[in-house]
Amino acid sequence: MDLTGQTILVTGASSGIGRETARLCSQLGARVVLVGRNQERLAETLRSLDGEGHRAEMFDLSSADEIPRWLKSISASSGPLHGLVHSAGIHRLRPVRVLGSRTVEDVMRINVGAAIGLARGFCQRGVGAAGGSIVFLSSVTGLVGQAGIAAYAASKGAIVALTRALAVELAPERIRVNCVAPGVVTTPLWQGVLEMLTPEQGAALEAMHLLGLGSARDVSYAIAFLIAGTARWITGAVLVVDGGYTAH
């Protein structure tokens, strides 16, 4: 689990799982490139990191076609990236009867389109280091059904398929591609979703997690494991971290 001397880029680093992943990577010795859209919250994450050499980057991941050029500029100044974690994402609670195409497009653009753009950028010459690792964030909702979140679930299912396809495509370049599928984690993103549920619905959702709801740190441990040399023989995998949700 040692990341000493490695440079890891983390999207969605201004809060939640992304922030906790950045913190853990820094504690394991990595230099971290923080990516987000909120400058103040990125600065908070930056101040919380261990070690030196970290940097914060403001970038709108909805501009997927601009991502490869942007990653090229980052590697030019920070050196090759040894790992990339795509934790940024958006969630929309919309029953299918009121689910419009605009909502679907917005969710897919950030959750899937940005993931593809990041992979394109990472495999450019000089951007991803030899033996580099990409970790995407999927979700248990991409593996099992849940009402009211068709667009989000579709995007997370797409991440599973994308992970496996890219693992095969990028293996000759020694780039590993994996994803983590968390259950409900007490992050600001999920807190907003839980507040839209009735107390009964929230209690039922929590009860589905045999070990209770998780924390961002629970998921960040799995991400760091996949980024580090501990997972050197793992690619195309979906690591479920869900407190027993999918055991039912």
What whole-number distance in Å separates Cα of residue 185 and Cα of residue 187? 6
| Helices within 48-149 (DSSP H only) | 67-78, 101-108, 114-122
What are the DSSP E strand ranges found in 161-213? 176-182
Contact (Cβ atoms closer than 8 angstroms) between residue 128 and residue 79? no
Contact (Cβ atoms closer than 8 angstroms) between residue 75 and residue 84? no
Q: Which of 10, 86, 136, 152 is catalytic?
A: 152
Catalytic residue at 152? yes
DSSP notation for 19-37: HHHHHHHHHTT-EEEEEES
What whole-number distance in Å separates Cα of residue 226 and Cα of residue 175? 12
Contact (Cβ atoms closer than 8 angstroms) between residue 62 and residue 114? yes
CA dihedral 169, 170, 171, 176 (to 10 degrees): -130
∠ at Cα 133 (129, 134), nearest 5°? 120
**Which residues are identified as catalytic?**
152
